[in-house]
Amino acid sequence: MDGLVLGIAWYVVFIISVTFHEAAHGLTAAKLGDTTAYHHGLVSLDPIPHILRSPFGMVVVPLISFILGGWMVGWASTPIDPYWARSHRRLSAFVSLSGPAANLLLVLVAAIAIRGGLLAGFFYAPETVSFDKVTAAESAGFANSAASILSILFSLNLILLVFNLIPLPPLDGSSVLSFFLSEQAAYRYENLLSNPTSMVIGMVIAWNLFDYLFYPIHTLALNILYPGAGYH
């Protein structure tokens, strides 16, 4: 794919992945008793409500990150009732986990499709792997486009999964920690999480930790996808 077409492919996959992540948060919350996201129209795979709620994170940042780095990062948000979350902190932890779980599901979908392409003779394991070349096509045309899209789907959702599970505010992993705390400790911890300064510090630390966490997991995922390939 040339640069423009590759950028479009990244953005389409990004929108699908983030929308799926946020809709999973909203759906899980609604099922467990918090209908805030539902009433905002965010329990939906339609990306428009999510883009309108977070235009900077879903339009500006992804495009800038692709221009600067060749891959996309960004964010959206799903509203929750803070009083419900504090009264049902264990249920709230499941709501937080549902977004990364949605990304894990998309990683598995991409992996199954890649394995199916290998069995059908459309794909092969490349010697050198990149985010948009997790698998390679035996021929040009449709197979090559499918290989690129599935590679991006696999890589981007693995990125979202790992990054969001870092246990620092405002990421999903930070909320899961409250599941293991006493009521009093959880109350103090949740006040810390809601502090804007804590969120900024958490994001800076998470961003600096990400490479150290992600690349070993990425390598492990590739070796599971291609048993015996020996990626390192």
Asked whether 112 and 184 are in contact (CB, 8 A), the reply is: no
Question: What domain range includes position 102?
Answer: 3-78+86-225
Residue-wise pLDDT tens digits, 206-218: 989 998 999 999 9
Distance CA 57, CA 174 (A): 20
How far is C-alpha 202 from the chain's CA centre?
Answer: 17
Residue-wise pLDDT tens digits, 185-205: 777 877 777 788 888 888 889
Tokens of 48: 């428009």
In a domain, 230, yes or no: no
Q: Which residues of the chain have pLDDT under 50?
A: none
In a domain, 216, yes or no: yes
Name which of 189, 197, 173 is nearest 86 in CA terms: 189
Asked whether 199 and 145 are in contact (CB, 8 A), the reply is: no
In a domain, 11, yes or no: yes
Count of domains in the chain?
1
Q: Give whole-number Cα distances, 39 to 16, 31, 43, in Å.
A: 21, 13, 8
In a domain, 125, yes or no: yes
In a domain, 27, yes or no: yes
How far is C-alpha 3 from the chain's CA centre?
Answer: 23
Asked whether 167 and 210 are in contact (CB, 8 A), the reply is: no
In a domain, 147, yes or no: yes
Quick one: pLDDT at residue 1?
A: 64
